[in-house]
Amino acid sequence: MATYKTGGFSPLRLLMRPARGLFIAIFHYLDQHPLAMRALHVCLRARPVWRIGHSVIVTGDAQVVEALQRDDDFPLPDERAEKFLHGAFVLGMTRTPQFDLERAELKTVMPARDEGRVQRLCEVSSADAIGRVASGRSLDVVTDLSTPVGQFLIINYFGIPAAYLDDPNPLRFIDDLRQLGAMIASPNSLLPGFRAEAEAAAVRVFAHVDREVREAEENILTGVPVADTVLTRLVFRRLQRGSGLNRDAVRRNIIGVLLPGVALVNRAFATAVVQLLKRKPLRDALRIARAQNGAARQDTLQKCLLEAMRFHPVFPVMPRHCPHETVLRGFRRIYRIRPGRDVFLSVASAMFDPRGALFDTPGGGYPPQARLRNRDAYRHFGGGIHECLGQHIALPQMGAMLEALLQLDNLRVARGIEYHPDDGISPMSLELTFTPDPAGGQPASVAVVQTPAAVPAQAPVGAAVQPPRPAQVKTPADPAVMANSPSDEVTASR
């Protein structure tokens, strides 16, 4: 996850404390008026690299990609790690042997081949969410769709109950994850009051996840069948002989992958929906998707989402740091970057660079045009060793939600995105109106399915997996175990 406050544009750091309210107001203006944000980045595209005081702004697509790949020359800022209140996580760690170990483990327990499973889970939850509002005239994209789907995925894929035990507020755990994510990304992280609330949230999340980690360990060690989830996969691997993981690493990484899974997807989906409904070429592409089936439909929907987010990036800038003198090649010259400089990679500018990879292929068109393009040339997920490990989870999740949303006719934005007042960046609501089903019920293509709220906290995804004894522990990701792993259908009882 990129962040708006880290490493710091020097003048901005000086102004942040006395003018924090002004900064938030400017952020809201740019966020609600992405055209103004794009105009700002268009001005910056006059050069691929800008050196302003103690800061360097990189705007060219080729230069942004190069900087993302050169992690030794452009690592994450040191202070970024301090913002992960739950403990170190790969998105905030510089490259060390422990980073390499934990990143490799996460890639193993969240493999790209899980994309289909994630999509099917999200199709179940999305269809249910839309079915519940189909007889009305409006829905809130955040509270009625993306949040319930996120909860469902937390339970059935990641293996963590989506609510605290004995807490009357069923959304407190989700809200705590949002606050921890905002601590990384929001300028309000400088406020003592906000930090205190985030620290209290970290304590609750820590205790909640730690209890699930210990229970999974006990079940595996005693031979109790467990569901095949990200949590149990990590615990399996920790219990292997010679594993470099300990319980703290399992807990830190589970919390780390949950942070963007709700708030970040909520934000990405909400902003994308606004752009999709606003731009006729993308609306036309959505009509084509409705006529398609299976993988072709999902591919078109995901391309629509990626293109919509280009016009309103979730995070327009990715911060880096330059620890030693190095250079970046521009179009006609070489830019020398001195040690200690703060480097800001403007992915918002890069994805509108006419020389960029999105536009240098046949059919790429011009940057202002909205059309489906090469999905591998977008910069939403970063690059290099800090490339988002969960993109194959986020995209099918949003694709399934969009597919269900398209079952409603004549969708219109009734009220723009509203943000949580405590952090100023997390979407709280996005209200859409639609033409209700004339029969007064649910659309024919939307099945009535199990609601996420009714799924037991330990609901397995299909049949249970019988783990081997500790001395012979194998990860569920191993072929020998996956051959007997559960199916992707949800089994739950009311």
Instruction: Write the burial class of residue 418 (CB in 10 Å: 0-12 exposed, 13-18 middle, 19+ buried).
Output: middle
Letter string b/e over residues 42-75, b meaning 16 or more CB atoms within 10 A of that residue's CB: eebbebbbeeeeebbbbbbbbbbbbbbeebebbb
Please say whether the beta carbons of 202 and 85 come within 8 A: yes
pLDDT reported for residue 20: 63
In this structure, the number of other CB atoms found within 10 A of the CB of residue 39 comes to 11
The residue among 160, 162, 134 whose CA lies nearest residue 148 is 162
* Average pLDDT of span 391-418: 94
Tens-digit pLDDT profile for residues 245-258:
999 999 999 999 99
Helical axes 192-221 vs 230-238, angle rounded to 10°: 70
Higher pLDDT, residue 5 or 285: 285
Q: How far is CA 148 from the centre of its chain?
A: 15
Q: How confident is the model at residue 237 (pLDDT cuts 50, 70, 90)?
A: very high
Q: How confident is the model at residue 269 (pLDDT cuts 50, 70, 90)?
A: very high
Question: Which structure tokens are listed for 482?
Answer: 């996956």
- The mean pLDDT of the chain is 83
Instruction: State percent of the chain over pLDDT 90.
Output: 59
Q: Terminal CA-to-CA distance of the chain, rounded, Å?
A: 36
DSSP annotation of 260 reads I
* Average pLDDT of span 426-444: 76
> Domain 10-408+436-482 is classified in which CATH homologous superfamily?
Cytochrome P450 (1.10.630.10)
Report in angstroms the alpha-carbon separations of 221 from 215, 226, 244, 387. 10, 11, 18, 34
Q: What is the largest CA-CA distance in the chain?
A: 68
Across 17-21, 96-100, 143-147, 180-184, the highest mean pLDDT is recorded for 143-147
| Amino acid at site 425 | I
Please say whether the beta carbons of 105 and 254 come within 8 A: no
pLDDT reported for residue 11: 46
| Amino acid at site 141 | V
Distance CA 181, CA 3 (A): 10
